[in-house]
Amino acid sequence: MVNVVVTGGAGFLGSRLARVLLAAGSLAVAGGAARPLSRVTLIDRVPVPPDLAADRRVGVIHGELAGLLDPGAAGPGAGAGSPGAGAGGPGVRDALAGAEVIFHLAAAVSGECEADFDLGMRANLRSTEALLAACRALGTRPVVVFASSLAVFGASAEHPLPAVVDDHTLPNPQTSYGTQKLIGERLLADYTRKGFLDGRAVRLMTVVVRPGRPNAAASGFLSSIIREPLNGQRATCPVSPDTEVALASPGKAIDALLCAAVSSSQTWGGRSAVTMPALTVTVADMAAALRRVAGPQADALIDWVPDPAVAAMVRTWPGRIRSDRAARMGLIPDQDFESVIRMHLAESSS
């Protein structure tokens, strides 16, 4: 039997990952044989979706991660959780102690971290540190999959981005969020080197189309310009149409996280983070795909209103990715952007 913990389990990717795990019903951990999944514990500061809460294999721990793990670390009020999951209480420790795989997805998004430096440090850096320390204390050497981001890369005057980012490109984050993700990657690698756990960091691309309401991610417009017009609503694109972006569908992001959990150490191939494959498109390509899928009235709902601050941030992100390590593990990019939109439509109508 396999137990799994997902931090950020109520979020976009965390809840999706939980559904995929539960539907599969088994997991082959780190190159071993597939075994039945007995428990998926979701840790989040917001309530988990009702379908997951209703599954008898799902456990829920409600609270702020750093506060749950170490009540002194996250400041007053942090760690308040649901009954039975008290701050620093046995709920979290028991869930981690019984878990062979811990997917660490809880994080504040890029825009939030730029707007509130302390939030980013608490939610992204201290939570990660506290989680790794808790895993070390278990002595069980769990597999820890860390959701990193292409935001670890960035262009600066003294260190411009190469035309194509590959497995050897030096990270050079240009945001607090990217910096926190890079520190998380490096901490995970060092805990792995010391034998405290088996860490696998995956650099996810910008995942589109994100369902639901807009979030505070700087990349949020890349989902809004598709999702809102499909709902008959206007959306604003703050960058020029020729801006290149590196994207992945939600399904491909989940494939990458699962690949990290199931690969043997030899196949995973080292302690450094794996950059997942990307579909490179311009924002104009995205609008054209929307027109082909939903007609000219849909892309007419995009307002092209440049925002110099957002455009400057987006310009520091890599658009073209070559991910040989991920490709060797069978991870492939989305075929084209039209199919990404069609997947989103199919899921939103089901």
Ligand X SMILES: NC(=O)c1ccc[n+]([C@@H]2O[C@H](COP(=O)([O-])OP(=O)(O)OC[C@H]3O[C@@H](n4cnc5c(N)ncnc54)[C@H](O)[C@@H]3O)[C@@H](O)[C@H]2O)c1
SS3 75: coil
Bond before 283 cis per omega within 30 degrees: no
CA dihedral 272, 146, 115, 227 (to 10 degrees): 110
CA distances from 179 to 89, 125, 150, 183, 317 (A): 30, 9, 11, 6, 13
Q: Which residues contact 138 (CB under 8 A, 6 or more apart)?
A: 96, 97
- Is 177 assigned a catalytic role? yes
Q: Token pair of 76, please?
A: 């007053």
Each residue 109-148 as x (binds ligand X by CB under 6 A) or -, in order, gives x-------------x---x-------------------x-
Each residue 56-75 as x (binds ligand X by CB under 6 A) or -, in order, gives --------xxx---------
Closest-CB residue for ligand X?
A: 11
Q: Which is nearer to ligand X, 22 or 36 (CB)?
A: 22
317 touches ligand X by CB under 6 A: no
DSSP characters for 218-234? TTTHHHHHHHHHHTT--
149 touches ligand X by CB under 6 A: yes
Distance (Å, rounded) from C-alpha 175 to C-alpha 108?
13
263 touches ligand X by CB under 6 A: no
Among 6, 204, 289, 329, contact with ligand X (rule: CB under 6 A): 204
Smallest gap from Cβ 72 to ligand X, in A, equals 15
Distance (Å, rounded) from C-alpha 199 to C-alpha 87?
25
Among 108, 132, 144, 245, contact with ligand X (rule: CB under 6 A): 108
Q: Which is nearer to ligand X, 109 or 143 (CB)?
A: 109
DSSP state at residue 195: T
179 touches ligand X by CB under 6 A: no
DSSP state at residue 211: P
Radius of gyration in angstroms for the set of CA atoms belonging to the chain, rounded to a whole number: 20
321 touches ligand X by CB under 6 A: no
Q: Which is nearer to ligand X, 117 or 157 (CB)?
A: 117
Distance (Å, rounded) from C-alpha 252 to C-alpha 2?
23
177, 191, 221, 337: which one is catalytic? Answer: 177
Q: Which is nearer to ligand X, 13 or 60 (CB)?
A: 13
Smallest gap from Cβ 104 to ligand X, in A, equals 7
CA distances from 8 to 11, 65, 74, 192, 250 (A): 6, 9, 17, 22, 15
Among 172, 174, 206, 323, contact with ligand X (rule: CB under 6 A): 206
Q: Which is nearer to ligand X, 8 or 142 (CB)?
A: 8
Smallest gap from Cβ 303 to ligand X, in A, equals 22
334 touches ligand X by CB under 6 A: no
Helix, strand, coil in percent for the chain, rounding step 5: 45, 20, 40
Q: Which residues pair with 37 in a beta bridge?
A: 2
154 touches ligand X by CB under 6 A: no
Q: Looking only at residues 1 through 60 of this chain, which bind ligand X when binding is defined by CB under 6 A?
A: 8, 10-14, 44-46
Neighbours of 92 (CB within 10 A): 28
Smallest gap from Cβ 247 to ligand X, in A, equals 9
Which residues are near ligand X by CB under 6 A?
Answer: 8, 10-14, 44-46, 64-66, 105-109, 123, 127, 147, 149, 204, 206-207
Residues recognised as catalytic = 177
